Amino acid sequence: MTMISSSVSEPAATLPMDLRQRPPRSPRVRLGGFVILPRVLDKARATLSATQGEYKYANPLDRIFLDFTGIAPETFLDKVKTGAGDGEVLAWVLEQSGRAPHEVAAWSEWAATVALNGVEDRNWFTGEIERLGPARTDINTLFDYLDLDDHVTFGGLS
């Protein structure tokens, strides 16, 4: 049985995620300065409980985080399997990655601005924006797209 901490952020963090009912956290949400990390945690937990729905763990966005930290997807999943809360996983990520706070901050700023530049990727991105919110002119980055997709998928208006 996994012990659940009494801190504010830990109880929800250690419970299995059901991504058929709600989206993972936005890629913009930070944990210890890392963007993407809370979303990767949510998808990993959902994958372990077979409630990931359409979300894919270790997808290209997750790999941006995993590559930066030098952690293999399977190794990260093994750590999450232990029932570790967000804080425990963060401490482990910092230990594994050896990244300094200024490196994390710079990388997170960069990751938040990632846009798709290849012709095939841009065509896909443009098609997705047309599908989700054709009137939206403010969707420019991958984070913008993911937030819109999560919102519309779970019943929100574009």
Break the chain into its structural domains and give their ranges.
10-112, 115-158
At a CB cut-off of 8 Å and minimum separation 6, what does 141 contact? 112, 113, 114, 115
Separation between Cα atoms, residue 73 and residue 47, nearest integer Å: 12
Q: What is the percent of the chain where pLDDT is above 90?
A: 82
pTM of the model: 0.87
Look at residue 9 in the predicted model and tell me its pLDDT.
41
CB atoms within 10 A of CB 15: 13
Output b/e per residue, 80-102; b: 16+ Cβ within 10 A: beeebbbebbbebbbeebebeee
All residue ranges of the chain with pLDDT < 70 are: 1-15
Distance between CA atoms of residues 32 and 101, nearest Å: 9
Who's near 92: CB < 8 A, 6+ residues apart?
A: 79, 84
Q: Identify the pLDDT of residue 14.
A: 61
